[in-house]
Structure 1
Amino acid sequence: MKLPAIKGFNEEAFNKYLKNTGWVIFGKGLSLIVNVLITRYLGPVSFGDLSFGLSLVAILAAVGALGLDTFIIREIIQEPAKRDEILGTSLWLRIITNALLIPVAVGIYLISHHLSSKPGEPLTLLVGLLAFASFFKSFNVIDAYFQSQVQSKYVVQVQNICLITISIIKVAIIVLSLPLIYIIFAYVLDGLILAIGLVMVYQKRGFSIFDWSFDKQRAKSLLRKSSPLILSAVMVSIYMKIDVVMLKSIGSKAIGIYSSAQNLSEAWYFIPIAIVTSVFPALLNARKTDLDRYQKRLKNLYDLLVFISLPVALFISFFADDIIHIIYQGKYDGAGPMLSIHIWSGIFVFLGTASSQYLVAEGFTKISFYRTAAGAIINILLNLWLIPRYGGVGASVATLIACVISTFYLLFIPKTREQGIMMLKSLFLVTAFQKIFKR
């Protein structure tokens, strides 16, 4: 299927986009390979401990970000002379919040550990160190600055250096047969190196973080504007990570087996983001000039994403057991049924990613939040019911159902129902057959 042309397209822009996409694919590919090696090396129990810690911290990290990125960019563009005040205030807000979240993460873990029927070995140090690693994300305010100047290439360079360095360290840990705690320290080092790299590239551009300042009124203004986004980000994190946290109730091994399948199932979720990002300008342009063309492009986008995700879901469903056995060398064989179920969530994630851009284009941000919240709540309720009975298979089913409901939440809202129907037609290949028979 031919993607709609983007207005203002030129060869230089296309080559730049290809280069950026290439780096994204390289990064995702390298991360996947290293993660597979770590998963094999640790085995289900230790890998389950690691996955639990990462998921718990990821949910709290959504709070630590404070939803500020978008507003940092906007404020700097609107008031470039106040750059140092905006960045300094944002950094201190994040540092204070993320510092407070370290004991919060440990506290939540200790409470859940105490209440668990299968507590296992204490993971207090693991959770605390991973929360400390997340603390360094406070310095991502520098990333927001470079985005405001359309100079993200400097941040990408730092990220690539960090990725390659930490990947080498993790492989060395595996080769030397070092225990799990060394992998945890690698995550801390990852956060530290990235933070230092961001500061260095900022300083190299002729600026200094020592010129930054904190302003109380600016802090209140930023928090007032970003507070709705904090809740939204937390809902997204809960939606994506709560199943792993809730599986802790039946043991680390169950988490490890489930996470081995989940990581493979979600490894390609960057694809719809890349596609949707590339065609979004064309959608916005069509919405301004030709509503019929706008709707047609949305149909084409939904069709394309189904054509990509459906064959993959079918293939992996049939060969899930073999894929798990080959990739993980027989250490996670119970993950096959989970992968064969979880992979179908990808279809709805793809459609949800595309329809999210429609909601942005139409200004339906509240609907976007409500459908994410609905998915998170459904996921939690289904996990409470299914995990005690079916373990990781139940968590996979809960994720799939939550994705379906979240994606097609648009059917229940009158002003977005047409988009929901459009996605349904793409899902069941109705629009595809219509195009075939028209020919």
Structure 2
Amino acid sequence: MKKEIRLNTIVELFTKAVNFLMTVIISRIFGPEALGIISTSQAITGYITLVGDFGTNNEAIRRISKSERDVSEVFSIIFYWRLILASFLIIGIVYYYVIFGSLDKILLFYILISLIGFFIPSYIFIGLTKYKYNAIINFLITIISLSLFLLLLSFKHSIIFYPVSLMTSTFIGMIISLVFYFKIARMQFVSRSKLFNFIKKSFYLGLTIIFARIYYDFDIILLGFLTSKIQLGLYSSAFKLIQMLWFIPTLYTTYALPYTTRMIQSNINNIPNYIIKVINNISLFILPICTLGYFYSGDILSMFFGNEFDKGGPILTILIFSFYLMFCKTVFGNLLIALRKEKFLFKVSIVGSFINICLNLLLIPVIGILGSALTTLITEVILFIIEYITIKRSFKVRIISLNITKIFIGITLMFLFLLFIKVGVFLGIILGCTFYLVILLILKEDCIKQYKDKIYTGVK
């Protein structure tokens, strides 16, 4: 299984890198306005994907992790559920076109991408820990979409080719994924009562995910209405870099939910040490990224997207710090899902959405895209505190330890070091990371010691 996890991780990293590359191509060829249009369409259709999921992915993984005999039934339930939703959405699209006479082409293609993605059974492969199937599917989708996009661009520069390429590759990926599934299990008839019971179990988790998405990227939709497409493009460039980093907590969720579900059932006393270890590792790697972002965010945006995007530097700085809290919350949320505390997470997501929408409406008209970034940070701080208090009560754990204190000392000294030397982005990243590593080695930080021992063991 370790080889499959490694393969899937490499493919996920490759996929994120390629998607980011295509974003860079769009930005440099078509400018901030085109990036804003694409980001708005992605944000809107993201909610269609969530409605199709509605917590069923996590419920499926949780159920299959407990009993692999339920694979066919789980797949059939989710397939029928999503087929019903897709039918209603298609009818809605046709009705909208008949009434209004037009529909944005880019948005339409993204809607179709979401509908096709409904039927890729990645949750089955995750629940069975057959990660290689997900790796193969994601790799093919990525390669096909990139190749087709570049091929179409060679004939004509049109932004519409980007969603067309994604739709084509996603359709091919869906066909291949279903071929893989039918090698493992089959389709079967399910009664309405089983369908409704399954959806009922995932109901609160589904609402939680939707509300969580609201405070994750609803600001992009609001910015589309309250600011110019150019301003939205600047915000989206910073947001795309955060999405690039987001593959890390996504992978964590993929691998951890089956593992934590089993751990809570078999040995719940190990959970506190598990939490501390994961938070320490997150802090070890993400906090230096936050520090580098503080000094070089504008340079990084200019390097990737072009000089006109350097004004988004402060946005990227704020979003990076928000990302650290999001990642920690992912750990807490994963454990709360394993504990079946969906109702609590639902309430938390409502609080987060309410705070996010209100602050966005208050701050965006005053300070524009900076207000949206600050809203994200404030929301994450509040939700982090709420979820941490719940985790602390559930498992009697304290994440503030001697080890994480050493990491914060290393980050503080790294910040002062970069403030003192005042060098360019490339040299600053190299010197800053080297200085940070040396400080942690001197302090004998536990995570660094473990990684060093693993390297020595591997060499021997």
TM range (shorter): 0.7 to 0.9
Alpha-carbon distance, 1:318 to partner: 0.8
Alpha-carbon distance, 1:278 to partner: 6.2
Q: Read off the aligned partner of 2:163 and give its amino acid letter.
A: I
Which residue is 2:232 aligned to? 255
The answer on whether the counterparts of 1:55 and 1:242 sit within 8 Å (CA) in structure 2 is yes
Pick aligned residue for 1:329 from 267, 283, 306? 306
- Listed one character per residue, the Cα deviations across residues 141-183 of structure 1 (whole Å, up to 9, x for unaligned) are x333444544342232122112111111122334444312222
Which residue is 1:133 aligned to? 113
The answer on whether the counterparts of 2:260 and 2:338 sit within 8 Å (CA) in structure 1 is no
The answer on whether the counterparts of 1:306 and 1:426 sit within 8 Å (CA) in structure 2 is no
The answer on whether the counterparts of 1:66 and 1:226 sit within 8 Å (CA) in structure 2 is yes
Which residue is 1:178 aligned to? 157
Which residue is 2:196 aligned to? 220
Pick aligned residue for 2:134 from 152, 155, 160? 155
Which residue is 2:358 aligned to? 381
Alpha-carbon distance, 1:42 to partner: 2.4
1:200 partner SS: helix
Say which is worse superposed, 339-348 or 34-43, in terms of deviation.
Answer: 34-43
Q: Read off the aligned partner of 1:127 and give its amino acid letter.
A: L
Matches within 5 A, 1:84-99: 86-99=74-87
Q: Read off the aligned partner of 2:21 and give its amino acid letter.
A: I
Q: Read off the aligned partner of 1:45 and give its amino acid letter.
A: E
The answer on whether the counterparts of 1:132 and 1:188 sit within 8 Å (CA) in structure 2 is yes
Shift of the 386–107 alpha-carbon distance from structure 1 to 2, 3 Å rule, reads: farther
The answer on whether the counterparts of 2:7 and 2:132 sit within 8 Å (CA) in structure 1 is no
Which residue is 2:170 aligned to? 191
Which residue is 1:58 aligned to? 46
Shift of the 374–261 alpha-carbon distance from structure 1 to 2, 3 Å rule, reads: same
- 1:341 equivalent to 2:318? Answer yes
Aligned residues: 412
Any gaps of 5 or more consecutive residues in structure 2?
A: 411-441, 447-460
The answer on whether the counterparts of 1:86 and 1:218 sit within 8 Å (CA) in structure 2 is no
Between the aligned partners of 2:407 and 2:50, the Cα distance in structure 1 is 38
The answer on whether the counterparts of 1:426 and 1:432 sit within 8 Å (CA) in structure 2 is no
Q: Read off the aligned partner of 1:239 and give its amino acid letter.
A: Y
Shift of the 428–372 alpha-carbon distance from structure 1 to 2, 3 Å rule, reads: farther
- Listed one character per residue, the Cα deviations across residues 86-118 of structure 1 (whole Å, up to 9, x for unaligned) are 534432321221332356579999x9xx9xxxx
Shift of the 286–181 alpha-carbon distance from structure 1 to 2, 3 Å rule, reads: closer
What TM-score do you get using the length of structure 2 for normalisation? 0.76
- Listed one character per residue, the Cα deviations across residues 23-69 of structure 1 (whole Å, up to 9, x for unaligned) are 22222222222222223222111211111011011023211223223
Shift of the 437–258 alpha-carbon distance from structure 1 to 2, 3 Å rule, reads: closer
Matches within 5 A, 1:13-92: 13-72=1-60, 74=63, 80=69, 83=72, 86-92=74-80
Say which is worse superposed, 343-352 or 264-273, in terms of deviation.
Answer: 264-273
Matches within 5 A, 1:269-308: 269-274=246-251, 281=259, 291=269, 294-308=271-285
Between the aligned partners of 1:286 and 1:237, the Cα distance in structure 2 is 27
Shift of the 105–255 alpha-carbon distance from structure 1 to 2, 3 Å rule, reads: farther
Alpha-carbon distance, 1:384 to partner: 0.7
Shift of the 102–259 alpha-carbon distance from structure 1 to 2, 3 Å rule, reads: farther
Alpha-carbon distance, 1:20 to partner: 2.8
- Listed one character per residue, the Cα deviations across residues 188-219 of structure 1 (whole Å, up to 9, x for unaligned) are 2233222222233345x2866xx654643333
- Listed one character per residue, the Cα deviations across residues 278-335 of structure 1 (whole Å, up to 9, x for unaligned) are 67848975996584x6434422322221121111111111111111111112232321
Shift of the 236–59 alpha-carbon distance from structure 1 to 2, 3 Å rule, reads: same
Shift of the 36–68 alpha-carbon distance from structure 1 to 2, 3 Å rule, reads: same
RMSD: 3.9
- Percent identity between the aligned chains? 22
Q: Read off the aligned partner of 2:179 and give its amino acid letter.
A: M
Any gaps of 5 or more consecutive residues in structure 1?
A: 1-12, 115-121
Shift of the 420–313 alpha-carbon distance from structure 1 to 2, 3 Å rule, reads: farther
Between the aligned partners of 1:100 and 1:239, the Cα distance in structure 2 is 26
Shift of the 251–154 alpha-carbon distance from structure 1 to 2, 3 Å rule, reads: same
The answer on whether the counterparts of 1:313 and 1:343 sit within 8 Å (CA) in structure 2 is yes
Shift of the 61–329 alpha-carbon distance from structure 1 to 2, 3 Å rule, reads: same
Between the aligned partners of 2:232 and 2:60, the Cα distance in structure 1 is 37
Shift of the 201–361 alpha-carbon distance from structure 1 to 2, 3 Å rule, reads: closer
The answer on whether the counterparts of 2:146 and 2:165 sit within 8 Å (CA) in structure 1 is no
Between the aligned partners of 1:427 and 1:76, the Cα distance in structure 2 is 32
The answer on whether the counterparts of 1:235 and 1:376 sit within 8 Å (CA) in structure 2 is yes
1:91 partner SS: helix
- 1:317 equivalent to 2:297? Answer no
